[in-house]
Amino acid sequence: EAQVTQNPRYLITVTGKKLTVTCSQNMNHEYMSWYRQDPGLGLRQIYYSMNVEVTDKGDVPEGYKVSRKEKRNFPLILESPSPNQTSLYFCASSPNRLAGGYNEQFFGPGTRLTVL
């Protein structure tokens, strides 16, 4: 089944304890992205990657890191989590766009993170 998977689905941690949220897609997509969802703010992009070893900042990158060593994986790293990073996180992927066309973004099920 074509899908985007995230782990863990739920995580409660404490301030300053490094954590990684994994994201993996089995659709051979080039583009991958991380979003955070907060009440009243919709989804905001944290980082994105156009392909292996190519990553760039989104709208809210502070406090996050990413890497793209393999096409299928795009982990999100919080080196020193803080309570304001408590949120619902989504990973998404999309194939390379054909000229003049739009390719749908496929979202993972989400990771609910609580930082105490």
Partner 1 sequence: GDSVTQMEGPVTLSEEAFLTINCTYTATGYPSLFWYVQYPGEGLQLLLKATKADDKGSNKGFEATYRKETTSFHLEKGSVQVSDSAVYFCALTEAPWDYKLSFGAGTTVTVRA
Instruction: List interacting residues with partner 1 (CB under 8 A).
Output: 4, 31, 33, 37, 40-45, 48, 50, 58, 90, 92, 94, 97, 99-102, 104-105, 107-110
Shortest Å, Cβ 42 to partner 1: 4
CA-CA distance, 114 to 25, in Å (whole number)? 24
Interatomic CA distance for residues 77 and 63, integer angstroms: 9
For partner 1, the closer CB: 32 or 115: 32
Question: What torsion do the CA atoms of 80, 83, 84, 89 make, to the nearest 10 degrees?
Answer: 80
Our CB check for partner 1 shows the closer of 16 and 99 to be 99
CB of 110 to partner 1, least distance (A): 6
Please say which residue, 61 or 110, places its beta carbon nearer to partner 1: 110
Here the tokens at position 68 are 């793209």
Minimum CB distance to partner 1, residue 53 (Å): 17
**How many CA atoms, within 13 angstroms, populate the side-chain half-sphere of residue 24?**
8
